[in-house]
């Protein structure tokens, strides 16, 4: 008997996530070492703000992601995780961030914001070429958020490409958008940890 093939998933994080998280963690580590070397065990309370800073960097920069799977797209935001089945997807927007549009409402990705004015100015012609057909509007126009050098554009490319493949292969029922259920799950554990750490820092 052949073992089932693991579900293929693509995880997208903002390009700034590695260096931002790494820089903050390095700064926090230095702060912890300095506190320990200066005050010893008595300096433990002074270390709490560094722990809060390190945790916030992980929670707000590294934890958020767009996960493109075989059955759905998952937006892992700081406060909630949203799972949108392919059948529920109506269109993909990038005006302010990667946004999955369904019949009932829209869901935006924290991990894939649209570019600012400097990001748009850095774009080149190749960043607007070779994108999925559903990216382009009249006369081949696209939003700045669709540019492939932006976080929103890179994430949208992954979502649109996989969605098109599934539609072309007949895997997705395009007529089920009105009945397919979207799941929104609060991220209770990460939020609770953030609240506890912040409260501890304020009380010290």
Q: pLDDT tens digit string along 82-138?
A: 999 999 999 999 989 999 999 999 999 999 998 766 555 465 555 555 667 667 666
CA distances from residue 14 to 40, 97, 149, 150, 183 in whole angstroms, order as listed? 38, 11, 11, 9, 23
Answer yes or no: is pLDDT of 33 > 70: yes
Quick one: tokens of 9? 């998933």
For the chain, what is the domain count? 2
pLDDT for the residue numbered 50 = 84
> Are both 193 and 143 inside the same structural domain?
no
Q: Is residue 5 part of a domain?
A: no
> Are both 97 and 31 inside the same structural domain?
no
Answer yes or no: is pLDDT of 62 > 80: yes
Please state the rounded mean pLDDT for residues 169-177.
83
Range of the domain at 194: 10-63+189-203
Instruction: Write down the residue that tokens 């797209």 correspond to.
Output: 73
> Are both 172 and 95 inside the same structural domain?
yes
């Amino acid at each position: 008997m052949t073992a089932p093939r693991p579900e293929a998933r693509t995880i997208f994080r903002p390009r700034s996530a590695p260096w931002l998280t790494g820089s903050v963690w390095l700064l926090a580590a230095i702060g912890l070492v300095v506190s320990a070397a200066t005050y010893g065990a008595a300096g433990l309370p002074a270390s709490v703000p560094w722990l809060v800073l390190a945790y916030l960097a992980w929670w707000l920069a590294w934890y958020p992601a767009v996960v493109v799977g075989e059955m759905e797209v998952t937006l892992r935001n700081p406060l909630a995780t949203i799972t949108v089945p392919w059948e529920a997807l109506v269109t993909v927007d990038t005006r302010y961030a990667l946004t999955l549009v369904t019949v009932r409402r829209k869901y935006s990705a924290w991990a894939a914001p649209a570019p600012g004015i400097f990001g748009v100015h850095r774009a080149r012609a190749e960043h607007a070429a070779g994108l999925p057909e559903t990216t382009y509007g009249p006369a081949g126009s696209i939003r700045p958020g669709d540019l492939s050098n932006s976080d929103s554009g890179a994430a949208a490319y992954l979502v649109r490409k996989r969605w098109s493949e599934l539609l072309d292969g007949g895997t997705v029922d395009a007529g089920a958008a009105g009945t397919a259920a979207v799941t929104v799950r609060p991220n209770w554990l990460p939020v609770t940890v953030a609240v506890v750490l912040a409260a501890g820092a304020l009380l010290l």
